[in-house]
Chains A and B, each alone.
Chain A
Amino acid sequence: MTSDTTHKTASRRAFLKGSLAAGGTLAGAGMARAGDPLITEVQPWAQGFGDPVDETPYGLPIRFESDVVRRNVPWLTADTISSINFTPIHALDGTITPQGCGFERHHSGAIELAKPDYRLMINGLVDQPLVFTYEDLERFPRENHVYFLECAANTGMEWAGAQLNGAQFTHGMIHNMEYTGVPLRTLLEEAGYDVSAKWIYVEGADASSNGRSIPMEKALDDVIVAFKANGEALRKEHGYPVRLVVPGWEGNLWVKWLRRIEVMNQPVESREETSKYTDVLADGTARKFTWVMDAKSVVTAPSPQAPITHGPGPLVITGLAWSGHGRITRVDVSKDGGKTWETARLAREGENKALTRFYLDTDWDGTEMLLQSRAVDETGYVQPTKAQLREVRGLNSVYHNNCIQTWWVKPTGEAENVEVS
């Protein structure tokens, strides 16, 4: 908080040389009475040139944001080929997830499949089995929709107790993008699907194939064969050139590198829908075909990776809410571990099966908080506590943990993942 003349004089040359380090140390000196050198002195960026156009033909975030990246938890999986990482939701705002930091989940690595090599087959109970090229797909009428994709295992490591210390790790198996693509219904109609058929089976071109069975009713409802996300081509790690979008349903169904759709009259009972993505209950029986992602929310800041650094006073508490059943209508926030709740402000009206951003603009008195958020969706479903979920399911479900999350915010502003009574 000091800004004496010695410093000022000494720093001038440093600034002229373009030292940003000095700028960094003074950034907190907003209260300085003697004039902030960042204002009173001519800064290098105000004097010389910045980068010319074409410096980065495809731009990446400025280097100061280099910590806003996907991260994985190495002990979770045997290797990184069949593994997962997490979206840095603690550092993002708004609702659209940039593709470059949207979490990845591969079962046999992210493959490189060029558009000219792309083929999509529709076969099974159809009048005419068809093969489409990428160019074919671009000639069908297409739509744009924003949807969240949540891995069924998101928050799965927290069933037995508070485990990972950060919203990125507890809730980061999620992203939200604007997809451009062709309704699956259009393609099924083009092949002349058998109207009595009850299922489709979808699979990818990678070695895992990640085949999944989907009821025909859903396939005809809102599923999209997508080739763009957030306005640009899908990223390799998200299934370039074509992936399936299955709104509101678990991410494993959103088959990447989509290569085949088979119309069937029964589910295949593939590995991904029997040995995995099934939820073991307390008595040892397991639920299968648990597709819908129930309403859920999390405070993204403050949170363990995004502590309060400014001390008491105005504080923006913010987070994300979503529901696979439709729109989010309300989010409540508690600062005392669920004794009392206040209704947060939604940044925009909730959208169908898409992330909703909420804010609670508050005045922090500097005492500890047990921060929670609770989402309510258009069906009236209220996000449950972990105790409520455990009562029905036990501790071994792995998937579909949509419990209320608690962050213990300490007087220092640091936050920690905790479980409360």
Chain B
Amino acid sequence: MSKFPKTLCIALAGTMIAASAQAGQYGLGRAAAPDEIAAWDLDVAPDGTGLPAGSGSVEEGEQIFSESCAVCHGEFAEGLGNWPMLAGGDGTLANVDPVKTVGSYWPYLSTTWDYIHRSMPFGNAQSLSADEVYAITAYILYSNFLVEDDFVLSRESFGEVEMPNADGFIFDDRAETEYGQWRAEPCMQDCKDLVEITMKATVLDVTPQETTEAAAPQAAPAAASEEATPQATESTPVEASFDPDLAASGEKVFRKCKACHQVGKDAGNRAGPQLNGIVGRAVGAVDDFRYSGAMEKAGGHWDEARLAEFLANPKKAMKGTKMSFAGLKKDADITALTEYLKSVSP
């Protein structure tokens, strides 16, 4: 949450009570101030009503998308791992596995703009300016081949964009297509001749085990991390070379990581392990995190050089890693992030 609505409300709560006009019979509540309504009433209608002034180009969007969105959605909005695909899937809705993206499925562009504006990036919502949201939306449209590479999205050009699946939705029709035939006296005897089992859940075997110790099929020997752990905390001379300013800019870079990793006092494992003390920590050292086989087998420690190599291109540096992050392109970001990570502790 942005801290601004809360602060605003608290400030206004004191001053507004006397000024409120009471509409109802109980006289409870107070009038909402115009700036309060403006702060919270963000929704955008399908025709674009509610959009703020601003604009952004595909080109600008590509840059911002790469920095703020590609960590989950991929450089081309193709979606990484289990994170949502935003592009592609054209013409697949009637297939066995429909691919539902902004281009193939979403009926209104307003929805994309509104959702990015209000809720993205994941873990750092409401941090994008209106221009940035226009730019990202333009880039997503471009990724779906819906606009050309010189397109600029603005409040004015918003209405020009046609969404391919705009007519792909119908209002709930169960009352007509289903209820009639299923509101009938059900059969009680001799309802069918033959009953055969046609599918069993245990064949698929995708149900989580209740005992968490479940032996992972090719669980790597724990030895690698166990033997490495003891020296982990002492071996790295972190203090000597610490640069607080660099760490501060690294904290900004860390926003890209926050969707999956936590640091600090109450840090726990999310999609990725908690990263307290990661610089100098043994590779694959968090006991209760389920690493990839590759990470478990890797051994050794995260010294700065190894971390830099991994952060630049995780999948190349550690073939088989579960981390879906595409990598940090700028060396300066890697250096800053590493400095920040040196500073995080429980």
Contact = CB atoms under 8 A, between A and B. Distances in A.
Contacts of B215: none
Interface string A263-283: 000101111001100101011
B177 interface: yes
B233 to A, nearest CB: 28
A133 B29 CA distance: 7
Nearest to A80: B270
Given A269-B46, A270-B111, A418 B186 contact: no
Contact of A381 (B172, B179, B190): B179
Contacts of B32: 121-123, 129-131
A6 interface: no
B170 A78 contact: no
B172 A291 contact: yes
A419 B1 contact: no
Interface stretch (A39-47, A53-61, A186-194, A344-352): A186-194
A128 B22 contact: yes
Contacts of A283: 94
Interface in B116-172: 118-119, 122-123, 125-126, 168-172
Interface in A151-210: 161-166, 169, 186, 189-192, 201, 203, 205-209
B259 interface: yes
B244 interface: no
Interface stretch (B193-201, B246-254, B281-289, B291-299): B193-201
Contact of A339 (B179, B191, B202, B208): B191
A278 B172 CA distance: 9
Contacts of A339: 190-193, 195
A418 B105 contact: no
- Kindly name the residue among B6, B126, B208 whose own CB sees the greatest number of chain A CB atoms within 10 A: B208
Interface stretch (B33-41, B223-231, B306-314): B33-41
Interface residues of A, number: 105
A67 interface: yes
Interface residues on B, range: 35 or more
Contact of B43 (A127, A139, A164, A268): A268
Interface in A378-405: 379-382, 384, 388, 392, 395-396
Contacts of A123: 32, 37, 40-41
- Kindly name the residue among B72, B83, B169, B260 whose own CB sees the greatest number of chain A CB atoms within 10 A: B169
Dominant secondary structure at the B interface: loop
Contacts of A382: 182-184, 186
A282 B195 contact: no
A392 B172 CA distance: 13
B9 A287 contact: no
A259 B40 contact: yes
Contacts of A124: 41
B18 interface: no
Contact of B201 (A81, A275, A417): A417
Given A123-B32, A128-B31, A419-B199, A289 B171 contact: yes
A161 B199 CA distance: 7
B169 A287 contact: yes
A290 B172 contact: yes
A4 interface: no
A50 interface: no
- Kindly name the residue among A122, A208, A395 whose own CB sees the greatest number of chain B CB atoms within 10 A: A208
Contacts of B41: 123-124, 260, 262
Interface stretch (A24-32, A68-76, A219-227, A308-316): A68-76
Given A191-B23, A288-B170, A71 B210 contact: yes
A338 interface: yes
Contacts of A379: 179, 183
Nearest to B9: A119
Interface in B13-55: 13, 16, 20-26, 28-32, 36-37, 40-41, 43-46
Contact of B195 (A131, A192, A337): A337
A324 to B, nearest CB: 11
Contacts of B46: 266, 269
Contacts of A337: 195
A286 B123 CA distance: 30
B8 to A, nearest CB: 10
B248 to A, nearest CB: 23
A376 interface: yes
B140 to A, nearest CB: 12
B265 interface: no
Interface in B35-88: 36-37, 40-41, 43-46, 72, 81-83
- Kindly name the residue among A119, A122, A340 whose own CB sees the greatest number of chain B CB atoms within 10 A: A119
A181 to B, nearest CB: 14
B1 A207 contact: yes
A408 interface: yes
B183 A380 contact: yes
Given A161-B199, A162-B199, A287 B190 contact: no
Given A133-B13, A282-B94, A294-B174, A384 B26 contact: no
A272 to B, nearest CB: 9
A283 B95 CA distance: 8
A361 B192 CA distance: 24
A417 B81 contact: no
A284 to B, nearest CB: 3
Given A128-B23, A341-B187, 20 more contacts: A72-B208, A73-B208, A81-B270, A82-B122, A122-B29, A126-B23, A130-B23, A130-B30, A140-B26, A201-B43, A260-B40, A268-B114, A275-B100, A284-B94, A294-B178, A339-B192, A341-B189, A341-B191, A381-B179, A382-B183
Q: Lowest 9 CB-CB distances: which A-B pairs, in order?
A: A190-B24, A284-B93, A284-B94, A128-B23, A337-B195, A79-B271, A78-B82, A207-B125, A417-B201
7 contacts: A191-B29, A207-B119, A275-B105, A292-B172, A370-B195, A382-B183, A421-B196
